[in-house]
Chains A and B, each alone.
Chain A
Amino acid sequence: QERVITGKVTDAADGSSLPGVNVKLVDTSVGTITDLDGNFKLSINDSHKEILFSYIGYLPETVEIGQNSILNMQLTQDIEQLEEVVVVGYQVQKKSVVTGAIASVKSEDITQVPIQNAAQSLQGKTAGVLVTPVSGQPGSGIDIRVRGTGSNGNNTPLYVVDGVQLDNINFLNPGDIESIEVLKDAASAAIYGSRGANGVVLVTTKKGKAGRTIVSYDGYYGVQEPWRKTPLMNSQEYMMFHNEGALNAGQGVKFTPDQMAANTTDTNWQDEMFQQAPIQSHTIQMSGGTEKSTFMTSVSYFGQQGIIAPEKSNFDRYTIRLNSSHDISKYFKAGTNFTFSREESKGINEQNQFGGVLQNALLHDPLTPVWEDRQDVIEAYDAYAVTPANRNGRYYAISDQTLREVVNPMARIENTYAENAGNNITGNVYLQLTPGIEGLTFRTDLGVVTGSGYTRGYVPEAYYNNVNQSIVSSVNQNSTGYTTIQWENTANYKKKFGKHKLDFLLGTTMRQSYGNGLGSARNNLQIPGWDYAYVSNGADDETQKGYGYYWQHRLLSFFGSVNYNYEDKYMLNVIARYDGSSRFGPNNQYGFFPSVQAGWVVSNEDFMKGGEKFNFLKIRAGWGQVGNENIGDFGFLELFGGTPSYPFGVNQTMQPGFAITRMANPDLKWETAQELNVGIDAGFFNDALTATVDLYNRQRIDLLGTKPVPGFTGVGGPLSNLGTVQNQGIEMSLTYNTKIRDLEIGVTAVGAYNDNKVTKVDNGDGRIYGNGMFQTQGQTMMEEGFALPYFWGWKTDGILQNADEAKAYNEMYGESAQPGDIRYVDINGDGVIDNEDRTDIGTPVHSWTYGLNVRLAYKGIDFTMFWQGQAGGKLINGTLRPDLQQDQNYPARYLNRWTGEGSTNEFPRFTYQDDNQNFTRINDMVHIEDASYLRLRNLQVGYTLPTHISKKAGMSNLRVYVSGNNLFTFTNYSGMDPEVGHGGALGYGFDFGSYPQARSYLLGLNVTF
C-alpha cells in the first residue's frame, strides 16, 4: 500500500533547516533530498521499514518509519568530521591523532599575504621550513629547505599535488589551494620513500561541496616600489675615495681639485633604474554540486611587473582549474582534478658580476649622465660602425672610466630582450571502489603532468664601451616538452575491534617521465628589432647552431602502512616503501625505506580528562628513513659520450671525439635520510592556546654527488655516495585564539632553530670545494665538522693602526702590510699568512627562522599583521670587481674605512695597491655580512559588509581590504636585499647583484555570491 511521508530536517543545535540532506529508504535505491527549507516528501509502501538521513558534516541517522506520515528529523553535527584533519600521504587523519611532525597551512593563510608563488605561503608559518625567494625578479622561484640543508646537491622537497608528484608548484594559483601540509620528519615522509629525503609538501586543492553553486571573486591591485636603495657614494665621495686610493698607492690623484670642482653630474643609477610597478591578481571561483557530484572550477590571472625595468622584467600567469568528484554507484566513485596554467615572463640579467643590470647600477661611476647630449660626442658616435645603445635616437652616455662589463645600466636594460613562456597541464583521474566489505577501498589513480617551455632571446648590435660591444646581433629560440605519467593503485582496509582501530594501506606507483629539447641560434638579424627577432630572420651562415635531445626517467614503488589506534589514546603507525629507480644500476636499483611512529594522547587518559586549563596533550615519537635519487642519470654505467671537437683539415672541419668522461660507479645507491623526531602537542583553555614542539635529529647518509677524484685519473669523478650531513633542531609553534565580546584575537607564533653539520665526507681530504668569486680567493666549502656550506676564508683581527703594529706584524709573518691594512689571523700558527690560514668564517644558511601572525577582528573589521624573520646566515655582498678597483663606484659602507690611527678597527684603508689583499681575500671584515633580517611581511585591514546589506546586493559576503607588504625590514645587511637564494647548496650566499624584494601597497576585494 502506497502512502506519502513528509518531514523537515533541521540542525539539532540551532534548529536551522538543512537543505540537500539525503533521505533514503534503507535497502532500496529509492530516495530524495531535502529542499531549500529542509522539507522532503517520499512515497513508501509497507515493505519499507527504515529511512536513512545522511548529510555531509552530520552524523547519519536511521529512523523506523512506523505509522508516521510526518517525520521531522534533527541531525547532529559530526564532531569527528568537524575536527581538523590533516593530509598525511594517501590518507587523512584527525589532527589530534597524527603521530608525525606535520605542518599545515590552510587556504586563508595561503592567500593572506599576496604572493606570486604558492610555496611562499609557507614562509614564517611553518616552523622548520626555511623559505627564501631566489630573488625579487617577477616569476623567479622559491628555495625551500625543510629542516636545514641536507645535501650538497638538490635540497628541493617533493611536492605532491592531489596525489601527483611534482618538482615545483610555481604553476598553481594560490587561491585554488585548500591546504598545504609539510611532512617534515622522515617517518611521515616515508610513505613517499624514494623522494622524500628533502621533506614532502602535500598540496590539496579546493573541492566543491554539495549544495547551491557558490561563485566568488578574489582580487587585488597594487603598486610596488623598492623597499630601499643601497647607499652608494655620490660623485664627490667617489672622486675623493679614488683619490685616496691612488695616493695610498703612491700615485698621483685620479681627479684633480679642478676636475672635482667642475663636476656637475651626480647620477644615482638606482634612482634611474627603479620604478613603481603594478601587481595584480584576479580569481573567479565557482563550486557546488549535489550529494552525488561536486565540482570546483576557477580561472585566475596573476600579473606582476618588476620594480626594475617593468617592461623587460615581468611575469603573468593564467590558470584554469576543474576539480570534480562523482558517486557513480554504491560501489564506484570517480573524480578528476585538472589545472592548466600558462606562464609568461621576461627577465633582466641579475646576480652576475659580468654584466648584470643591478651590479652595473651599483658599480657604475656617478660622473656619467644617463644620456649623451654633447653634440661633438654624438657626431663621433654616429660615425661608429656599431653605434651605442639608444632610445628614440638618443644615445645613452658612456663612462670615461674603464669599467669593462659595467656599462650604462639604462643602456643595458634598453638592449635586454628575453622572454620565456610555459604551458602546463597537471592533473589526475581516479576511480575508487568500495566493494561492499565494510572498511575496504580500492583506488586507482592516473596522474599526468605535461607541458612545454619556450624561450627567445635577442642581443642587438651595440657599442657599450671600448671593450664591450655586440658587433653582430644574435637571436635564439629554444623549446622543451615534458610529460610524466604516474599510475598509482592503493588498497585501504579499516577495521574496528571494540576499542581497537586498524587501518591498512597497500599501494604501488609506476612513474615515467620523459622529455625533449630543441634549440637554435643565428647571428646577424636581417630585420632588426625585437619584433623580428626570430631565428629564421638571422643570417643563414655557418655560425648558426642547433641542438636537440631526449631524456627519460622511471620509478617503480611498492608501499604499505599499518595504523593502529586504541581509543584515540595510543597510536602506532608503521610504514614501509620499496622503490626502484632507473638512475641506479642492477646492483642497487631498489631501496627500502621503513618508518615507525607512536603517539600517546595523554589527555584522553582518565586522570587528565575534563581538564579545562590543560585540555589536550599528545606525546609522539617517530623514526624513519627516506630516500633520494635526485642525481644525474646513468652514473652506474661506463659511458662513451661526446667530447669537444677538434678542427681537422685546412678548412677547419670540426670532428667530435668520443671518450669516457666520467668514472663509472656500478654500486651507486640510494641516498638515505634517517631521522628521529619527538614532539608534543598541547592544548590549553579548551584549545584557546595550542602549542606544538618538535625535536629532531636527521642524518643524511650516503649523500649523492660527484665524488672528486684526482686529475691524473683523466676523467671526472663518479656519481657517488659521498658522506653524511646532520641536521638537528627544535621547532615550536604557538597559537592563541580568543574572543573578548566582539573582538576576536588570533596570534600564531612559530620559531625554529636548526644546527647543521657535515659529519662525513667520503673522499681523500674530507672536503668538497664550492663556489668563489672572480679574482678573489676563498670559497664555500663542504667539510667534516662544519656547516654545509661554510665560507672558507680568512679571519681578521682588526686593523694595523700604526707603523709599529705593521712592522711587528710584518716581522712576525713575513708580510708587507702597511698601517690601515687588515691583521689576518695565522690560523694554523705556522708563522705565515697564506692560503693555509683559510678557515670557517660563517655559513650562508640561517639557523633561526621565525614568524608572528596576529589577527584581530571586530564586527566587520579585520586586521592582520605578519612578521617574519631569519637569523644566523651570512651573505657576501659580491658585486664589486677587484679588477675594476680603480674605476668602480663603492658602497657607502666603504666610507667607514681606516683613515689614520684610531679612526676605525672595523674596515681597512682603501688603496689601489692592495698588497695585503684586504679586498681580494674573502675575509670576515670586508666581505662577510650578517644577512639576518626581520620583515613586516604584511599589514592588512579589511572590512566586511554586514550580511543583511550584502545580501540585498545579491552577495553572501563582501570584503574590501588594503594591504601593505614588506613595509619594514630590519637588517644589518648593506646590499639591496638580505633575501638572496641563488645557487645550489655550495653556490649559496653570494649576492652578485640580486633583484630585491618589492614593497607593495594593495587594494583588494573578496566577493561571494
Chain B
Amino acid sequence: CSNFLDINPTDAQTSDTFFSTSVEARQALNGIYEKLRSDYNATIPNNNALLELTLGDDAYVGGASSGTDMLWLQQMMRFQALTNSEAAQQSWNKCYGAIQRSNTLLANYDQINFKSNEEDLKNNYKGEATYLRGHFYFELVRYFENIPLITEPLVGDSWQSVEQGEPSVVYAQIAKDMQDAIALMAEEIPANEAGRLTKYAAMSELVKVYLFYTGFYGQTELPVEGGTAITKADATQMAKDVINSGRFTLATNYADLFNENGNYNPEVIFEIAFANTGSGDWGDYSYGNIMCQMAGPRAHNGPTFAQGWGFIAPSRDLEQSFEAGDARLGSTIKYAKDLIDEVGSVHEPHFNYTGMHSNKYTTHTWNQAEVNVELNWAQNYHYIRLADVYLMAAELMVDTDPAMATQYVNVVRRRAGLADISLVSLADIQQERRVELAFEGHRYFDVLRRGLDAAKTELDVTNYTLTPPTDTDAQYINDQGQNLTGDIAADPTVFEINFDKAKRGFLPIPQVEIDLHPLLKQNAGY
C-alpha cells in the first residue's frame, strides 16, 4: 500500500500537465478575460467606471439615505479613502489576479502545441494575453501609481522580495506589452467570439496611456521598455489608424449605445461583456453588470427602470455642462420626475439625492432578468468606443492639425444634434469629452491628467446650495416631506468636495498589502 495515499484531484489539473494544446491556451486566456467582468468580488463593487465616477465630478455616491451605505465609496468620493478601502483593495486584487494569469500563460506559451492550422490563433491568443496584462497594469498605475511590476510567475516565496516600480518603468512595460500585442492580435473577431479583443482596442488604449502619462507627468513621450519611446506623432498616427481602419462606425443614434442595441454596437472598440445567466450567486460568480444595479433608483419599479441601489447621483455640475439641445442629455440623465410620473408614486431618495439618475448603465427594464434581478444585468460596458478615439485624436492634433481636430470633434457633435464648431480649442475638446463620455469611466482621468491644480479647480465643490424642486405637486413629495424633483439633504455640505492634492489623485495602496509585505510603501497623503 505504498501508494495508498497518492490520490489526485478530480476537479483540477496540476500545473506540470496543464498546458498542452490550444484548448488549454484558450482556457487560460478565458481566465484572464474573466477578470474584466469580475467587478463584484466579495460583493464589493469595483467596476472601473464606478470607481472613476466615484472620484470624478459627474456624480455623487448615493446609497441608503443614512450616508453610510458602502462607506468606502463615500470616503473615496470625498478623497478621504481609508487605507483599508474595500473597493480599492478589490480593484487591486482583480487587476493583479489577471496579471498573474497572463504571466502564467505567457511563461508557459512555448510548451503549448498548436496545430499547423492554428498559427493565427497562436499569435492572437498570445497577443491578447499580452495586451490584457498591459491593460490591467494601466488600470493599476492610474488608480494607485506606485505598484509592483511583475511580469513572470511568482514561484514559492519569491513574492517576498517584490518592490514597487517607478511609474515610468511601469508605463514603459505597459507600452511594450501593448506594442507587442498589436503585432500579434487579430484585426477582426467573428461575431460568435465577440468580446475577444482586436489590435484596435490595444491601439486605442495605448493612445489613452500616452495621453494620461504625458499629461499627468508632464512628459512629451511615452517610454517603451526595450524600445523606442512613443511620440505624440506616433500616438496621433495610431488614433488615426483606428479611425481610418473602417471597422468602427459611430452609432447613428447616441441613445443606441445604451439601449437594447447597445451590446456590441459597431462603435465600440473595447467591450466588457456581462451576461444574464439567472444565477443567484452573490459575488464573483454573478455575471451581471453590478454597475447597473448600483445605478438604478431605490424602490422604484416602473416601465422604464427597475429598482436599483441608487448609488449614482448625477451632479448638477454635469447636468449644467450639457449645451441646450444636446441629444445626449436624455441618454445620460433620467429625471426622477419622469420616473414618478410613470408610476404615480415616489421612490426612495438616496443619499446625496439630486433628483436625477443615470440613464446609461442602469436598471433598464428591457434588460431585467426574470430571476435574481440584481445579479443579472446583461448590459455590456463600452470601455473604449470610436467617439472617444475621435476626441483623443482631436486632442493630439489640436495644435498640429487644427482643421482635422475640428473635423473630428464636429463628427461627434453632429450626432448629438449640435452645431459645428469652426475651430476647436483644447477646452472645447475637454468639454466635449465630458458630455460625450459621462459615466463611462474617463472623466476623472481626463481631469487628473491636466495636472493637480487643474484637477482641484475642476473637482472641488464649495458653498453648495440645494437646487430647489422643479415641481411642487404633492405626488413628488414623500411622507417625510421630501420633494424628489430637487436636491435632498438635511445639510447641503454633504455635496461639498475637497480634492486633496497631497494624495495626488491616487488611491491608497491597500493597507493589507503593506501589512503583509512591509517592503511596500504607502502612497503620499495617506
Residues of A in contact with B (beta carbons under 8 Å apart): 249-252, 254, 400, 402, 466-467, 471-472, 474, 510, 523-524, 542-543, 545, 549-556, 580-582, 589, 633-634, 637-660, 664, 708-715, 763-765, 767, 769, 775, 777, 834-835, 882-883, 885-886, 912-914, 917, 920
Contact = CB atoms under 8 A, between A and B. Distances in A.
A646 B4 contact: no
Interface stretch (B28-36, B48-56, B382-390): B28-36
Contacts of B93: 711
Interface in B474-522: 479-481, 490-491, 510, 512-513, 515-518, 520
A605 to B, nearest CB: 48
Interface stretch (B167-175, B191-199, B245-253, B354-362): B191-199
B263 A650 contact: yes
Contacts of A642: 11-12
A885 B194 CA distance: 46
Interface stretch (B13-21, B215-223, B225-233, B436-444): B13-21
Nearest to A638: B15
A790 B15 CA distance: 39
Nearest to B140: A712
A641 B68 CA distance: 38
B275 A652 contact: yes
B278 A543 contact: yes
B370 interface: yes
B427 interface: no
A466 B520 CA distance: 47
Contacts of B307: 466-467
A554 B13 contact: no
Interface residues of B, number: 95
B269 to A, nearest CB: 16
Contacts of A637: 9, 14
Given A883-B68, A914-B68, A582 B34 contact: no
Contacts of B278: 523, 542-543, 545
B301 interface: yes
A241 to B, nearest CB: 16
A650 B67 CA distance: 39
A644 B97 contact: no
B277 interface: yes
Given A252-B481, A649-B193, A882-B66, 10 more contacts: A642-B11, A647-B273, A647-B274, A648-B273, A708-B512, A711-B97, A711-B513, A715-B100, A883-B63, A913-B490
27 contacts: A251-B490, A402-B348, A471-B373, A542-B278, A552-B7, A552-B10, A580-B5, A634-B9, A639-B13, A641-B11, A643-B34, A644-B287, A645-B34, A648-B192, A651-B192, A654-B275, A654-B277, A657-B29, A657-B33, A658-B13, A658-B18, A659-B101, A710-B159, A710-B512, A710-B513, A765-B516, A769-B512
4 residue pairs, one from A and one from B, having the closest CB atoms:
A714-B100, A657-B31, A543-B278, A657-B30
**Most chain B beta-carbon neighbours within 10 Å: one of A543, A549, A711:** A711
Contacts of A647: 37, 195, 273-275, 287, 378
B92 A711 contact: yes
Contact of B490 (A250, A581, A589): A250
B64 interface: yes
Contact of B513 (A554, A648, A650, A712): A712
B89 A711 contact: yes
B33 A646 contact: yes
A914 B96 contact: no
B12 A639 contact: yes
A713 B100 contact: yes
B150 A712 contact: yes
B46 to A, nearest CB: 12
Contacts of A715: 97, 100
A658 B11 CA distance: 11
A513 to B, nearest CB: 11
A775 B512 CA distance: 19
B148 interface: yes
A664 B9 CA distance: 14
A278 to B, nearest CB: 35
B429 interface: no
Contact of A471 (B13, B71, B263, B371): B371
B284 interface: yes
Given A638-B15, A646-B36, A765 B515 contact: yes
Contact of A764 (B13, B98, B490, B515): B515
Nearest to A552: B7
A764 B96 CA distance: 19
A546 B103 CA distance: 33
Contacts of B510: 711
Nearest to A648: B195
A472 B368 CA distance: 13
A115 B116 CA distance: 70
B27 A657 contact: yes
Contacts of B36: 646
A780 B433 CA distance: 46
B191 A650 contact: yes
A659 B104 contact: yes
A763 B33 CA distance: 31
Contacts of B479: 400
Interface string B275-293: 1111110001101000000
Contacts of A654: 275, 277, 287
Nearest to A516: B10
Contact of A912 (B14, B33, B66): B66
Contacts of B263: 650
A208 B14 CA distance: 53
A486 to B, nearest CB: 13
B69 interface: yes
Contacts of A542: 278
A996 B299 CA distance: 33
B259 interface: no
Contacts of A638: 14-15
Contacts of B324: none
B431 interface: no
Interface in B76-135: 82, 84, 89, 92-93, 96-101, 103-104
Given A643-B31, A657-B34, A648 B196 contact: yes
A944 B193 CA distance: 81
A649 B66 contact: no
Nearest to A767: B515
A556 B287 contact: no
B419 interface: no
Contact of A659 (B28, B373, B513): B28
B273 A639 contact: no
Contacts of A657: 27-34, 101
B24 interface: yes
A883 B97 contact: no
B6 interface: yes
Nearest to B69: A883
Contacts of B27: 656-658
A765 B511 CA distance: 11
B332 interface: no
A543 B370 contact: yes
Given A650-B194, A710-B513, A835 B82 contact: yes
B143 to A, nearest CB: 13
A914 B154 CA distance: 45
Contacts of A834: 82
A510 B4 contact: yes
Contacts of A556: 1, 4-5
Given A556-B4, A775-B69, A523 B370 contact: yes
Contacts of A658: 13, 18, 24, 27-28, 30-31
A711 B82 CA distance: 17
B204 interface: no
Given A252-B481, A472-B370, A652 B30 contact: no
B14 A649 contact: no
Contacts of B194: 648-650
B162 interface: yes
Nearest to B89: A711
